[in-house]
């Protein structure tokens, strides 16, 4: 039989990291000592108290059953407590918080809850690929908002054409930002809320890096803006904050009707988060701040090594105050895919070409700070001898 996939799958952009993945495999096979600064996945383990909480919970038979779609009430209450403490905003744990199987899952299901065929989603470019791809899978049309360095990698809302705004239902934003490491000032978030109300657009604010901040910077949430709860939800994740990428747990919070829409789609797609993982997630949210501070110190040190190394060899870099990414311009006239390949061939360093995050990422490369200090120093040494 000739197996034919849905047309929507054919509409997805090509996976641009194929070449890099292939080169990586070949280099590994050849026994090369690769320094992988490509993937945004913490290299240090999940803290012990979280693993202990899982171990305890996994032995309780009640936790082996289907979990409730809405998540355990105690988890939602813990999220509300954490959130209030961090952002000084109260959330109703019954209606304004929904635990999810990692924020990627919730982000990818959101367009299915709100788009009709031909409706538009405003997505940042460069940006996290699911905003664009889930919109396409749900039958919608992504409209790319360029994130340009001259605008501090914030979208220029005034440049979005009126004809697009008429059809726009959703807008994705992500700050602290992957891949650019840019931050959103509160003044920008205020503009976004005003804009969303005026044009009746749902704001989906991705905060996967909310706790990965340095130099005493604290990232604001959009729900801190007055009136935001009428139009916005935030996507939160334990993945990057607590080194829990494999565990699959996060939450959506904010406007109750938006939360309910996402919950309805999800109730038809999955059957909740393993309760032992929910209880481990609670243990994570109860962690004392020394864990965050220690992680921040580790990334800060690596950042400083890589930034000063790159500056010495002529790159100009804005030292990021958040995320574990360094986003930097590559030499003029080079193409990011070729440049990343060169780094791999000549220095055994893996980095992510900017164009993989959208066409406005061309001309840039992303380094992830996901190797220890010694390896970071070795990477700088190799880069200097290029």
Ligand X SMILES: *Cc1c(COP(=O)(O)O)cnc(C)c1O
Distance CA 221, CA 224 (A): 6
The residues near 185 (Cβ < 8 Å, ≥ 6 apart) are: 220
Task: Tell me the sheet residues that pair with 123.
Answer: 144
Query: What's the min distance (Å) between Cβ of 104 and ligand X?
Result: 3
Asked if 250 touches ligand X (CB under 6 A), the answer is: yes
Asked if 178 touches ligand X (CB under 6 A), the answer is: yes
Q: Which phi and psi angles does 191 have, rounded to 5°?
A: -60, -40
Among the listed residues 63, 132, 133, 239, the single contact to ligand X using CB under 6 A = 239
CA pseudo-torsion sign 49, 55, 59, 63: positive
The size of the chain, in residues, is: 386
CA pseudo-torsion sign 313, 319, 323, 329: negative
Considering the complex, state which of residue 322 and residue 383 has its C-beta at the smaller distance from ligand X. Answer: 322
Max CA-CA distance within the chain?
61
Asked if 206 touches ligand X (CB under 6 A), the answer is: yes
Tokens 């995050």 correspond to 357
Asked if 128 touches ligand X (CB under 6 A), the answer is: yes
Among the listed residues 79, 136, 154, 208, the single contact to ligand X using CB under 6 A = 208
Asked if 142 touches ligand X (CB under 6 A), the answer is: no
Asked if 245 touches ligand X (CB under 6 A), the answer is: yes
Query: What's the min distance (Å) between Cβ of 284 and ligand X?
Result: 12
Q: Closest Cα partner for 324 from 188, 211, 185, 186?
A: 211
Considering the complex, state which of residue 103 and residue 219 has its C-beta at the smaller distance from ligand X. Answer: 103
Considering the complex, state which of residue 112 and residue 383 has its C-beta at the smaller distance from ligand X. Answer: 112
What is the CB neighbour count within 10 angstroms for residue 103?
25
Query: What's the min distance (Å) between Cβ of 100 and ligand X?
Result: 8
Query: What's the min distance (Å) between Cβ of 296 and ligand X?
Result: 17
Asked if 110 touches ligand X (CB under 6 A), the answer is: no
Among the listed residues 63, 121, 174, 278, the single contact to ligand X using CB under 6 A = 174
Long-range contacts of 153-158 (CB under 8 A, 24+ apart): 153/177, 153/180, 153/182, 154/182, 154/184, 154/188, 155/122, 155/124, 157/191, 157/192, 157/195
Considering the complex, state which of residue 255 and residue 370 has its C-beta at the smaller distance from ligand X. Answer: 370
Asked if 211 touches ligand X (CB under 6 A), the answer is: no
Among the listed residues 76, 104, 109, 366, the single contact to ligand X using CB under 6 A = 104
Contact region for ligand X (CB under 6 A) — 53-61, 96-104, 184-192, 366-374? 96-104
Asked if 132 touches ligand X (CB under 6 A), the answer is: no
Asked if 368 touches ligand X (CB under 6 A), the answer is: no
Considering the complex, state which of residue 199 and residue 321 has its C-beta at the smaller distance from ligand X. Answer: 321
Distance CA 326, CA 309 (A): 12
210 close to 244: Cβ distance less than 8 angstroms: no
Query: What's the min distance (Å) between Cβ of 4 and ligand X?
Result: 30
Q: Which phi and psi angles does 58 have, rounded to 5°?
A: -70, -20
Strands (E), the chain: 35-36, 97-100, 120-125, 141-146, 168-174, 202-206, 232-237, 250-254, 325-329, 349-350, 352-353, 364-368
Considering the complex, state which of residue 180 and residue 347 has its C-beta at the smaller distance from ligand X. Answer: 180
Among the listed residues 237, 241, 255, 328, the single contact to ligand X using CB under 6 A = 237
Estimate the share of the chain in helix, then strand, then coil, as percent rounded to the nearest 5. 45, 15, 40
Query: What's the min distance (Å) between Cβ of 237 and ligand X?
Result: 3
Considering the complex, state which of residue 199 and residue 236 has its C-beta at the smaller distance from ligand X. Answer: 236
CA distances from 287 to 46, 291, 292, 339 (A): 12, 7, 9, 41
Asked if 281 touches ligand X (CB under 6 A), the answer is: no
Contact region for ligand X (CB under 6 A) — 27-35, 99-107, 197-205, 371-379? 99-107
Q: What angle do CA 135, 186, 114 make, to 5 degrees?
A: 20
Here's the x/- map for ligand X, 25-54, by CB under 6 A: it reads as: ---------------x--------------
Footprint of ligand X on this chain (CB under 6 A)? 40, 102-104, 128, 174, 178, 206, 208, 237, 239-240, 245, 250
């Amino acid at each position: 039989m000739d197996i034919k996939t849905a047309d929507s799958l054919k509409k997805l952009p090509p996976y641009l990291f194929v070449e890099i993945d292939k080169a990586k495999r070949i280099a590994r096979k050849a026994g090369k000592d690769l320094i992988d600064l490509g993937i945004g996945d913490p290299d240090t383990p999940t803290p012990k108290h979280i693993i202990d909480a899982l171990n305890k919970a996994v032995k309780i038979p009640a936790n082996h059953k289907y979990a409730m779609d809405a998540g355990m009430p105690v988890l939602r209450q813990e999220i509300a407590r954490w959130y209030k403490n961090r952002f000084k905003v109260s959330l109703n744990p019954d209606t304004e918080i929904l635990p999810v199987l990692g924020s990627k899952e919730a982000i990818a299901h959101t367009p299915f809850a709100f788009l009709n065929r031909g409706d538009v989603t405003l997505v940042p470019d460069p940006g996290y690929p699911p905003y664009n791809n889930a919109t396409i899978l749900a039958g919608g049309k992504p409209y790319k908002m360029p994130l340009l360095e001259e605008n501090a990698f914030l979208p220029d809302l005034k440049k979005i054409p009126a004809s697009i705004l008429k059809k726009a239902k959703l807008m994705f934003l992500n700050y602290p930002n992957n891949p650019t490491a840019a931050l959103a000032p509160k003044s920008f978030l205020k503009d976004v809320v005003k804009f969303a109300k005026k044009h009746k657009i749902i704001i989906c604010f991705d905060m996967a890096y909310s706790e990965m901040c340095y130099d005493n910077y604290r990232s604001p949430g959009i729900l801190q803006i007055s009136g935001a709860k009428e139009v916005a939800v935030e996507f939160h994740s334990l993945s990057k904050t607590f080194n829990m990428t494999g565990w699959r747990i996060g939450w959506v919070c904010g406007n109750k009707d938006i939360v309910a829409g996402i919950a309805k789609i999800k109730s038809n797609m999955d059957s909740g988060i393993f309760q032992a993982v929910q209880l481990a997630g609670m243990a994570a949210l109860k962690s004392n701040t020394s864990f965050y501070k220690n992680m921040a110190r580790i990334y800060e040190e690596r950042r400083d090594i890589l930034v000063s190394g790159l500056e010495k060899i002529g790159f100009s870099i804005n030292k990021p105050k958040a995320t574990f990414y360094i986003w930097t311009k590559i030499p003029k006239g080079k193409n990011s895919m070729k440049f990343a390949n060169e780094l791999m061939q000549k220095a055994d360093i893996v980095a992510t070409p900017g164009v993989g995050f959208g066409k406005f990422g061309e001309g840039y490369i992303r380094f992830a700070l996901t190797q220890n200090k010694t390896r970071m120093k070795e990477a700088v040494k190799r880069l200097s001898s290029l």
